[in-house]
Amino acid sequence: MSDHKISRRDFFKASSLFAASAVGGPAVLGGLKKAQAAPVQAAPWESRFSACDMCFNKCGLIARVEDGVVKKLDPNPKFLKSRGMLCARGNAGIRQVYDPDRLKYPMLRKGARGEGKWQRIPWDEALDMAAQKMQEVREKYLPCGHLFSAGTDLHTQFVGRFAEVYGSFNVTSHESLCLVSNNRAFLDTFGEVPFADVLHSKYVIMCGANRFEALVTPDSMDLMTAMREHGCKLVTLDPRYTKTAALSDEWHPIKPGTDMAFMLALAHVIIHEKLYDPQWIAEKTYGIEQLAEHVKQYTPQFAAEECNIPAEDIARIARELAAAAPSAMIYPGRRSSDYEDSTQIRRAFAIVNGLLGNWDRPGGLLAARAVGLKGVPYDAPWYDDNHFERVDGNKVPMMFEHEGSFLITRDAILADDPYEIRGWLVYKTNPMGTAPNRQKTIEMMNKMDFITVIDIAMSDTAWFADLVLPSQSYLERYDPCSGLQGSSACACVVKRDPVVDPLYESRPCFDIMKDLANRMELGEYFDFTIPEYREKQLEELPHAEEILDRDGVYYNPSKVYGIYEGKVYKTLSKKIELYNQRYEKMGIDPLPSYTPPVKVPKNQFRLIIGRDAMTTQSSTANNSLLNEFNPTNTLWINTAKAQQLGIANGETVVVSSPVGTQELQAEVTDRIREDAVYMLTGYNTLSTMQHLAHGNGASINELLVDDYDTVTGNASMHTTFVTVTRKVA
């Protein structure tokens, strides 16, 4: 480990190097100035580079370690992607290591599923058993009879590799609970999924995203810089008055589910008032005539009725947006608001961006740049005796093969259709806490012969498993390198080395997969160590290892704008497809057509999900440092509605949906529309080994219905209606 220490002198040297490079570098950033000027004080600690893992952003950090204990986590000022920032959750990462609720050793279920009776067993026994059970499943139900699920992580690739050599196509990631419909829409418009260059934008419409709370780097930092230093205008559409709404120039509490009407009305104004660049559109896009015809019906007046936003505001926003183009954008969002026509909703976002001519230009949407990391290839064996398609295949027309759809997979398993699945290995994802309709996940788990969960905490998914294996936290493990991108921040590479020795009996996922492979005669596919794997990854990046050791990050400078000059787009027409030819061939609407959302039934509310800067999905409610900010979750309910229902602030309410009932405190507020209610995720775990989250507040996943986007199978998490009543004592 000592090789990777940074001495205080090196750190000073690194800081001044950074100062020199930032001045003339490609991205001179307001957001960085502060971090750069921060005084470095003499300290008794050693400093070690790593990258945060409290969410997927992987912000560069410097761990301050004293006597083998992490005392503090600081941002790495050289890490351009996060603009030298480490958020509150990043700071609270220390708790990941020292949480007394951490999983400490392998545990085998003793009682009924979910009963919470466990027996500590030695690693060898645990691995023998997992391998044997996986072998049994493979023999009884064929290789595809085993499901693998892995969340965001650098070791996730090893779970995928294992599944492939084991012979199962059934791998799901968190992504079908997150952003695949968004990716689909942008991919099918521009031929690839873009990065938003908000730093150089003059006008940003943030619709169904909450960038100042749901942090995405560098966008969250850049948006602030663009607004404060470059006069960028921010217009936010959200049924809730979020922190992003509060900091915006304009907030419109849009009626949930009507975003497409708003976007089509913007397109209507831009086209009918000829506010676009005709030459750019003619050269780069396909389908302007069809689009013009299609959006005739979607006038600002039409959208005003649907969205509850005045027509004159919609028309004005369209004109302002077009005037700022091409340095203007509909922010693509990530998870955003999700409905059963999510892909089409996001297509409408993408189409307006197309009309703005912002592709591949400053302040617009940027293409991905290759970082140059090499993969480590392998030839997976072919099993003749197997099912030939994913269990969730053929249910929706445009699913991503690698991500699958968790909700469709779960339905298929429950119905044993098209075939049986009886084994599940889960790594670093918690579908019990993040997939809608928790009871259905329990039903699915009850069907399984054997479930192994690799986690750092006793998540609810672990709680219902057969075997639970303790994983190393990100501050204790070696990770392969990861290539990161983000708007005009250069494409970069990070790695993680342990900053402290691993605690208890925790082991990294890679070792677990390798040990399982060895026990199942698949060892040849894991015949390397992480350092060897990394060496291979960095093979074509000169001095990368050295630079990573020196700076904690490696940049591969490349052209940022104009990448598509003289290049064709990866679409059927080889242009930006306003009108999608492939969709037409497949019987999918080639242009997004608006259908109003299902009306909220009388005396009910639409339950919407969203985030807070102090929590990450289901995984931080039990982090004591973060729990201080949100000791419990509350139900946001509009003041006028609460009064009608006789509900006082802080009172316990009963919330019922078609799939579940929960109780929690009401937060009576004007920060939400009358037709919607909202609560944070991650509370009221069933696992009693999450002391702060168990039995505290409400589980939103117990309430959410499991509808999904009909194009990709992405969970549509905003289609649940609930009743809210005072709890009768």
Among 106, 253, 257, 552, binds ligand MGD (CB under 6 A): 257
Q: What phi-psi label fits residue 265: left (phi over 0), alpha (psi between -120 and 50 degrees) or beta? A: alpha
Collapsing DSSP to helix, strand or coil, 484 comes out as strand
DSSP class per residue in 642-656? HHHHTPPTT-EEEEE
d(CA 224, CA 220): 7
| Under rule CB under 6 A, residue 611 binds ligand MGD | yes
Residue nearest to Mo ion (CB): 178
CB 606 within 8 A of CB 720: yes
Tell me the pairing of strands 489-496 and 554-555. Answer: antiparallel
Among 14, 29, 35, 55, binds ligand MGD (CB under 6 A): 55
- Please, which residues have CB within 8 angstroms of residue 529's CB and are 6 or more apart in sequence? none
Q: Write each residue from 527 to 566 as x if it is in contact with ligand MGD (CB under 6 A), else as -, in one continuous string.
A: ----------------------------------------
Q: Write each residue from 312 to 341 as x if it is in contact with Mo ion (CB under 5 A), else as -, in one continuous string.
A: -----------------------x------
Among 178, 206, 330, 664, binds Mo ion (CB under 5 A): 178
d(CA 573, CA 570): 8
Q: Write each residue from 106 to 125 as x if it is in contact with ligand MGD (CB under 6 A), else as -, in one continuous string.
A: --------------------
Number of residues binding to Mo ion, judged by CB under 5 A = 2
Instruction: Name which of residues 162 to 201 contact ligand MGD (CB under 6 A).
Output: 174, 177-179
Instruction: Name which of residues 206 to 235 contact ligand MGD (CB under 6 A).
Output: 207-210, 213-216
Residue among 16, 49, 19 nearest 32 (CA): 19
Q: What is the token pair recorded at 388?
A: 């030939």
Q: What is the token pair recorded at 136?
A: 């049994």
Least separation in angstroms between CB 341 and ligand MGD: 12
What number of other Cβ atoms are within 10 A of residue 547's Cβ?
Answer: 17
Least separation in angstroms between CB 550 and ligand MGD: 26
- Please, which residues have CB within 8 angstroms of residue 592's CB and are 6 or more apart in sequence? 260, 263, 264, 341, 344, 345, 347, 348, 351
Angle between helix 311-324 and 259-272 (nearest 10)? 60
φ/ψ of residue 348, rounded to 5: -65, -40
| Under rule CB under 5 A, residue 214 binds Mo ion | no
Integer CA distances (angstroms), 717 to 407, 603, 609, in order: 11, 20, 7
Least separation in angstroms between CB 142 and ligand MGD: 27
CB 21 within 8 A of CB 217: no
| Under rule CB under 6 A, residue 215 binds ligand SF4 | yes
- With CB under 5 A as the contact rule, which of the stretches 178-186, 458-466, 582-590, 664-672 interacts with Mo ion? 178-186
Residue among 232, 373, 363, 353 nearest 285 (CA): 353
Instruction: Name which of residues 402 to 461 contact ligand MGD (CB under 6 A).
Output: 427-430, 433-434, 454-457, 459
Among 48, 58, 422, 641, binds ligand SF4 (CB under 6 A): 58
Q: Write each residue from 286 to 325 as x if it is in contact with ligand SF4 (CB under 6 A), else as -, in one continuous string.
A: ----------------------------------------
| Under rule CB under 6 A, residue 82 binds ligand SF4 | yes
Nearer to ligand SF4, 252 or 335 (CB): 335
Instruction: Name which of residues 465 to 484 contact ligand MGD (CB under 6 A).
Output: 471, 473-474
Least separation in angstroms between CB 502 and ligand MGD: 11
| Under rule CB under 6 A, residue 611 binds ligand SF4 | no
| Under rule CB under 6 A, residue 240 binds ligand MGD | yes
| Under rule CB under 6 A, residue 700 binds ligand MGD | yes
d(CA 497, CA 77): 18
Residues found in the chain: 729
- With CB under 6 A as the contact rule, which of the stretches 52-60, 134-142, 527-535, 673-681 interacts with ligand SF4? 52-60
Q: Provide the CB-side half-sphere exposure for 641 (13 A, CA).
A: 24
Integer CA distances (angstroms), 627 to 92, 95, 165, 620, in order: 10, 11, 41, 7
What number of other Cβ atoms are within 10 A of residue 388's Cβ?
Answer: 8
Helix and strand totals (H; E) in the chain: 25, 28
Nearer to Mo ion, 63 or 178 (CB): 178
Cis-peptide into 418, omega within 30 deg? yes
d(CA 498, CA 50): 8
269 binds, among ligand MGD, ligand SF4, Mo ion, none (CB under 5 to 8 A by kind): none
240 binds, among ligand SF4, Mo ion, ligand MGD, none (CB under 5 to 8 A by kind): ligand MGD
Among 59, 307, 330, 548, binds ligand SF4 (CB under 6 A): 59
Least separation in angstroms between CB 143 and ligand MGD: 24
CA 423 to chain CA centroid, Å, is 26
d(CA 166, CA 164): 5
Q: Write each residue from 332 to 351 as x if it is in contact with ligand MGD (CB under 6 A), else as -, in one continuous string.
A: -xxxxx--------------
Integer CA distances (angstroms), 367 to 171, 186, 329, 537, 683, in order: 28, 11, 14, 22, 38
Least separation in angstroms between CB 264 and ligand MGD: 14
Tell me the pairing of strands 171-173 and 146-150. Answer: parallel
Nearer to ligand MGD, 80 or 607 (CB): 607
Instruction: Name which of residues 489 to 518 contact ligand SF4 (CB under 6 A).
Output: none
Number of residues binding to ligand MGD, judged by CB under 6 A = 58
Among 409, 437, 618, 657, binds ligand MGD (CB under 6 A): 618
CB 407 within 8 A of CB 338: no
| Under rule CB under 6 A, residue 238 binds ligand MGD | yes
Least separation in angstroms between CB 607 and ligand MGD: 9
Nearer to ligand SF4, 52 or 330 (CB): 52
| Interacting residues toward ligand SF4 by CB under 6 A | 52, 54-55, 57-59, 82, 86-87, 89-90, 215, 217
| Interacting residues toward ligand MGD by CB under 6 A | 53, 55-56, 151, 174, 177-179, 207-210, 213-216, 237-240, 242, 254, 256-257, 259, 333-337, 427-430, 433-434, 454-457, 459, 471, 473-474, 608-611, 613, 615-619, 681, 700-701, 718
